[in-house]
Amino acid sequence: MDEQELRDTKSLATFSMTLCPSLSLDLCQLNNTGNHGTTVWDSAKVLAFYLMDTIKRPSWTMVDGKLELQNTKKCIELGSGCGLGGLTMAALGFDTVMTDLPSVVEHVLQVNKQRNERHIKDWWYQLLEQSTHDSTMTLQNPRVGVKSLDWLQYSADPEKCTTVDPPYNYILAADCIYCTEVLPPLLQSCWNLASPTTTILVALEHRDDIVVNAFVEKAKEFGFDPRMVPSKQLRTEVIGNEDIEIWKLKKKRSK
């Protein structure tokens, strides 16, 4: 899919997104459910490109005669929707869990996981061909899981949630900030899931100054250090939307 076609995908039942020359993900979406989590939004696309541009490619090491991923870091995506961010992290070798409400998990998220595992492994074999490893060896499947998680409930009572296993090295959230009411539970969930070294990436479309400013101030109140990723590091021109921002949050040394 070229740049022009990538700018308007919400009306499509499926579309392919090329993250790099040898890796494309096929995404199905439902635009007739009344749930904004069943379509791929521009912020998710920009986040996926940012991840591919800034995180090292996966690598393997030989263990007992088998190739195993060297990267053992963990990632969780909140409000995954169609799963573009989580699938990108899985392709980059992270042990990834994609989460959303049960209806989204059933209708699009689980489907997209199954559709793209083969694409990810095919890309991995191409990477092996470029390395010193034997590309004919069998590779493990991508470490990506799909689980139901309502972060509104999780933020209120994390002890009752067995879906997640914190802390995570990366936490992703794309287009989850659309009103001020969701800010406290989202930030509380991020706090519960993070360690002092966790990188939290929140991608959003800057639709309302009040909401974005409230997000930044509330993040500081929770004990995060929020910093906006410079726009020159984002491929917003590819999708024709310069209003996309990515905020990087880390826990301050003392809350």
Which of the four pLDDT bands, split at 50, 70 and 90, describes residue 4?
very low
Question: Among 100, 117, 230, which residue's Cα sits nearest to residue 153?
Answer: 100
Which of 94, 83, 92, 7 is closest to 52 using CA atoms? 92
Q: Are 119 and 168 in contact (CB under 8 A)?
A: no
Give 78's strand partners.
Answer: 173
Q: Which helix (H) or strand (E) holds 189?
A: helix 183-193
Fold (topology level) of 3-58+67-251: Rossmann fold (3.40.50)
pLDDT at 30 over 90: no
pTM exceeding the 0.85 threshold for the entire prediction? yes
Is-contact 157 122, C-beta < 8 A? no
Proportion of the chain in helix, strand, coil states, percent, rounded to 5: 40, 25, 35
How, if at all, do strands 194-205 and 168-174 pair?
parallel
Average pLDDT, the chain: 91
Separation between Cα atoms, residue 98 and residue 102, nearest integer Å: 12
The closest alpha carbon to 224, from 179, 181, 182, 193, belongs to: 193
- What are the start-end ranges of the H helices in 12-150? 42-54, 84-91, 102-104, 110-129
pLDDT in tens, 143-170: 999 999 998 889 989 988 888 999 999 9
Phi/psi for 144 (5° steps) reads -135, 130
What residue ranges do the domains of the chain occupy? Answer: 3-58+67-251
Q: What's the longest Cα–Cα distance across the chain?
A: 56
Q: What pLDDT digit, counting tens, does each position of 175-193 carry?
A: 999 899 999 999 999 999 9
* Phi then psi dihedrals of residue 127, to 5 deg: -65, -40
User: Ramachandran region of residue 251, left (φ > 0), alpha (ψ -120 to 50) or beta?
Assistant: beta
Indicate if the pLDDT at residue 65 is higher than 90: no
232-243 pLDDT per residue, tens: 999 999 999 999
